Amino acid sequence: MNPVPIGIPGEICLSGAGLSRGYLQNAMLTAERFVPHPFKECERLYRTGNIGRWLSDGNIEFLVEKDDQGKIRGHRIELAEIENSLLKLDTVKETVVIFKDFNGDGKKELAAYLTGNKELDISLLRECLKKMLPDYIIPSYFVQVERIPLTSNGETDLNALPDPLETGMDPGNEYVSPRDTLELQLSRLYEDILNVRSVGINDNFFEHGGNSLSAIRLVSEIERLFGKKISLSLVCQYSTIKQLSGFLQKIDNQRSLVCYA
């Protein structure tokens, strides 16, 4: 917490009138990040954890981003905030949340690895997190493990964490295969967009790694394949193949009624 000369790397800290009051419902993380300003009485300083340095022209050059901070779809994310929220749940014993490009397309997603005394319910976890966190910070993947792997230094061994695409938690729905051509097409569409296998008609798009960006792609593909324009909010409302198929068929029935009237 000492100022550094021009050109010397140091932690980037923020202060001023636009500074937030802290993290919502997270006093522990607020106390860690929002600290008393060492040079201005009655002001606070936000410790970003990122490393940079002043340049001679007055600009700040960004050097290193901490592993537990980053951006998802333009939003700044602190992994500790998600982990602390998960640990508030009685069913979760330990957890680690990571950023990773799981699909190899350059887009980072959030994955939460958890341990518990019993089998965890992914749907219930999501619902509980939605009461504490905004939607964009909810992990796309949840994986229950027997223990969080550690290195010899006692840190989380990120390389030993399983691939969530292979071992993601079962949402709790029994697999039901598509019953007609439309459901089969939607199932293949879900599998392609989410990069998963064997999606049943009761499987939820968002519980299998879907997010706002992949939902936009789903809307676009539905218009291309079926010639039907639907809104993003409808994908959120009818998020299983069974629900979405029923809605698309309902649109066709309404159009038929109009034609015969």
The span from the CA of 86 to the CA of 66, in Å, is: 21
| pLDDT in single tens digits along all 261 residues of the chain | 888 999 999 999 999 988 888 887 778 778 888 999 988 888 999 988 788 999 999 999 988 766 556 666 566 777 888 999 999 998 999 999 988 776 665 667 788 999 988 888 887 888 888 888 877 788 878 888 999 988 887 778 888 888 876 665 555 556 688 889 999 999 999 988 887 777 888 888 877 778 778 889 999 999 998 888 888 888 888 888 999 999 888 877 665 444 444
pLDDT at 92 (0 to 100) = 93
Q: How many Cβ atoms are within 10 Å of 221's Cβ, its own excluded?
A: 15
pTM: 0.54
Q: Is 189 helix (H, G, I), strand (E, B) or coil?
A: helix
Q: Where are the alpha helices (DSSP H) in 131-203?
A: 164-167, 181-194
Q: Where are the alpha helices (DSSP H) in the chain?
A: 27-33, 79-87, 122-130, 164-167, 181-194, 212-226, 232-237, 241-260
Strand partners, 52: 10, 62
- The whole-angstrom distance between residue 11's C-alpha and the CA centroid of its chain comes to 26
What domains appear along the chain, each with residue ranges and CATH number?
A: 10-64 (2.30.38.10), 69-167 (3.30.300.30), 181-260 (1.10.1200.10)
The span from the CA of 241 to the CA of 178, in Å, is: 8
Side by side, the strands of the sheet bearing 109-115 are 94-100, 109-115, 141-144
Q: Which two tokens stand for residue 41?
A: 């009485």
Q: How many Cβ atoms are within 10 Å of 64's Cβ, its own excluded?
A: 12
